[in-house]
Chains A and B, each alone.
Chain A
Amino acid sequence: MAETSRAQRRGIEPAKTDAVIPAELRDARRWFAEMVVARRFEEEAERAFRRGKIGGYLHVYTGQEAVAAGWLAELRDDDIFFTAYRDHAHALFRGTPPGAVMAELFGKATGVAKGKGGSMHLFDVPRGFYGGYGIVGGHIPLATGAAYALRYSGTDRICLCFLGDGAMNNAAFHEPLNMAGLWGRDGLCPIVYIVENNQYGMGTAVDRASAVTDLASRFEAYGVEHERADGMDFLAVRALARRAIERVRGTGRPYAVEMLTYRFAGHGAADLFQPYRSKEEIAKARGHDPIAILERRLREAGVLTEADVARIHEEATAAVAQAVRFAEESPAPGADELSTDIYA
């Protein structure tokens, strides 16, 4: 699949004789490398934020990598997706060059949106990424309408809508979900809602914000089939994604998945003290690091060696350093860009 070749383009080569490795694991090894790049990317972004190179808000994806990676690994090249503001890894996994993402964070002309959107509004429409959105829940109606448009136009393309647990308490969740349920009856809403339940909406734990903590069950109200699953094991996420996407593509009916995951970092770069959770809780969660889990599974399967891992980390560090350099050396947008792109 095309996503595989993206990893190859970044120079991450297989470590073993491919013939003896099952195709799926060989591909997973490349996704392991992608996840390491995403992790390094977020670490460098946080550093750049502290250096004052990145302004505004910065929400990193550390800890949740298996979710976006697992789903985007199964998304066809002509499919589309929407997400919220914790969106860097989604762009990277879809193949947006790390330099263009970092340059956007730096507010540079070479960024994916010419420096006009910033961290929360990454877009890569040619790759089917219809945006990161900063108002919690606000993108859910867009994704629902987009799914309708795909089927209305007579294609079998589908839409993924990533959202956080916090977005489920918003009218922008409930209204379009009801419409998705209605449209799905006629096979006109090929969408998967992927709830990335990282346990906190900013600093408010799920059980303090939602009267029902089995979040998947809330889709029941709208006639949208749903399930709840572990979001930390890439191979399991990917298997689920394959099944769900195939089903949605075939039926035109919406599907929903609650992925149980965890945000290792604070809500944003300014969330330094995190008074809403304990250090012990974070340490315990870090014991289930999605990157470590995938590494272990691939090592056990014999498709990844210690030397491979070291090399993958080294290459990721180099790729991200290059992205930072590119962002730093890129020019700021020209003053003439202030008033362009407002009207067509």
Chain B
Amino acid sequence: MPELSYRDALRTTLIEEMDRDRSVVLMGEDIGLYQGTFRVTADLLDRYGPRRVIDTPISELGFIGAAIGMAMLGLRPVVEVMTWNFSLLAMDQIVNNAAKIRYFSGGQVDVPLVIRGPNGAGVQLSAQHSQSLEALYGHIPGLRVVAPATPAEARGLLRTAIRSRDPVIFLENAALYGLKGEVPADGEFALPFGRAEVARRGRDVTVVAYSRMLHVALAASDRLSAEGIQAEVINLRTLRPLDVRTVAESVGRTHRAVVVQEQWRLFGAAAEIAASIYEQAFDQLDAPVERVTGADVPMPYARNLELLALPHEEDIIRAVKKTLYRS
């Protein structure tokens, strides 16, 4: 298998899908001439021309809404948001139109739309540019919410997203764009939505994570292993649909669970996952489910404060030990 960066896995999949299907068009701010803020769309304007690689004004509401209209007419727009923070300007279009048109039209029209871009904290980007918004979108029926953690997942999930007939919230992560990994070369390689992966086998505790936090959870698991604690790490890959079954089965083997997310604690994805574990595997639990989350504060600028606001390996290790009643 060839090794590709997360960025190139995304870019080559875009190219393959654009070559395969002329209805795939790209839209976003500075994705063409500028080559994309994170260079995911580098060179694509030259390849496909301005009708298919559309540089937009700074009008998130306008271009995401326009992409929904294009999708209703049978195109398959892939819209880049420079970061998911800016999607808040288009919240009405995503929540009130993209997610609901199929339902309130009685199934008369599909919205095959992908909105993609980096989600989560960077380095010292402060309060407005560091948010993880998966819980906001995960709350909305009608949307699919996807969060690939590896180059192979970026490739497999993006292909499924582009070929889907539903609107897909595709959450990338800026810290992962340079991450390299083995990626199936097969131009049809796709990963299904709603299927989590057991990223690491272990018998003592289940650690559930997604996106960048998967890597933090795996690193924490390595350190725990040195102390004789074997964590089983579940990589969710998609949040809506949520593969509760794989999580519950794992808890059935380990009897303990820690759920990790970068976002704020209150009403977050971890709360939903923890509740699902209680509903599906209550009798299997030997300890309360632990949550490892970001701090309940707007993201501060100062590096020391920012580090305090984000979850780290140590936080996961501490939570795992708590479920094992060890310290």
Residues of A within 8 A of B (CB): 80, 82, 111-118, 121, 123-125, 130-131, 133-135, 138-150, 152-153, 171-172, 174-176, 178-179, 182, 186, 188, 340-344
Pick the contact of B69: A116, A142, A178, A340 (CB < 8 A): A142
Q: Would A175 and B92 count as touching, CB distance under 8 A? A: no
Q: Which residues of B contact A142 (CB under 8 A)?
A: 65-66, 68-69, 72, 97
Q: Is the CB of B61 within 8 A of A145?
A: no
Partner of B165, one of A182, A186, A344: A344
Which residues of chain B have a CB within 8 Å of any CB of chain A?
25, 50-51, 56-57, 59, 61-75, 77, 92-93, 96-97, 101-110, 112, 141-142, 144, 164-166
Contact status B57-A179, CB under 8 Å: yes
A342 & B102 in contact (Cβ 8 Å cutoff) = yes
A-B pairs with beta carbons under 8 A, tally: 149
CB distance from A196 to the nearest CB of B (A): 20
Which 3 A-B residue pairings sit nearest by Cβ, starting from the closest?
A: A141-B65, A175-B62, A145-B69
Q: CA separation between A80 and B109, bound complex, in Å?
A: 13
What residues of B have a CB within 8 angstroms of the CB of A179 in the complex? 56-57, 59, 62-63, 66
Query: Which residues of chain B have C-beta atoms less than 8 A from A134's C-beta?
Result: 96
Secondary structure of the A contact surface, majority rule: mixed
**Judging by beta carbons under 8 Å apart, are B59 and A178 in contact?**
yes
Q: How far is the CA of A125 from the CA of B74 in the complex (A)?
A: 12
B65 touches A182 (CB 8 A): no
Other 9 A-B pairs with CB < 8 A, given A145-B68, A179-B62 = A113-B104, A113-B106, A130-B109, A138-B93, A138-B96, A142-B72, A149-B74, A172-B61, A172-B92
Within the complex, which residue of A80, A118, A121, A342 is in contact with B141, where a contact is CB–CB below 8 Å? A342
Residue contact B65 to A140, C-beta cutoff 8 Å: yes
Q: Are A176 and B65 in contact (CB under 8 A)?
A: yes
**B110 contacts which chain A residues (CB < 8 A)?**
344
Contact between chains at A116 and B106 (CB < 8 Å): yes
Closest partner residue, chain A, to B64 (CB atom): A141
> What chain A residues lie within 8 Å of B108 (beta carbons)?
113, 123-125
Tell me the minimal C-beta distance from B182 to chain A in angstroms: 31
B25, B93, B164: which has the most chain A beta carbons within 10 Å? B93
Most buried by B among A111, A145, A153, A186: A145
**19 A-B pairs in the complex with CB atoms less than 8 angstroms apart:** A116-B104, A135-B96, A140-B65, A141-B64, A142-B66, A142-B72, A142-B97, A145-B71, A146-B70, A152-B75, A171-B61, A172-B93, A175-B61, A175-B63, A179-B62, A179-B63, A182-B57, A340-B107, A343-B166
The answer to whether A125 and B105 touch across the interface, beta carbons within 8 angstroms, is yes
- B106 contacts which of A114, A143, A153, A186 (Cβ < 8 Å)? A114
Min C-beta distance of A188 to chain B, whole Å: 7
Residues of A within 8 A of B64 (CB): 141
Residues of A within 8 A of B67 (CB): 145
Which residue of chain B has its CB nearest to the CB of A172?
B61
B107 adjacent to A341 (CB under 8 Å): yes
- In the assembled complex, the Cα of A344 lies from the Cα of B113 at a distance in Å of 12
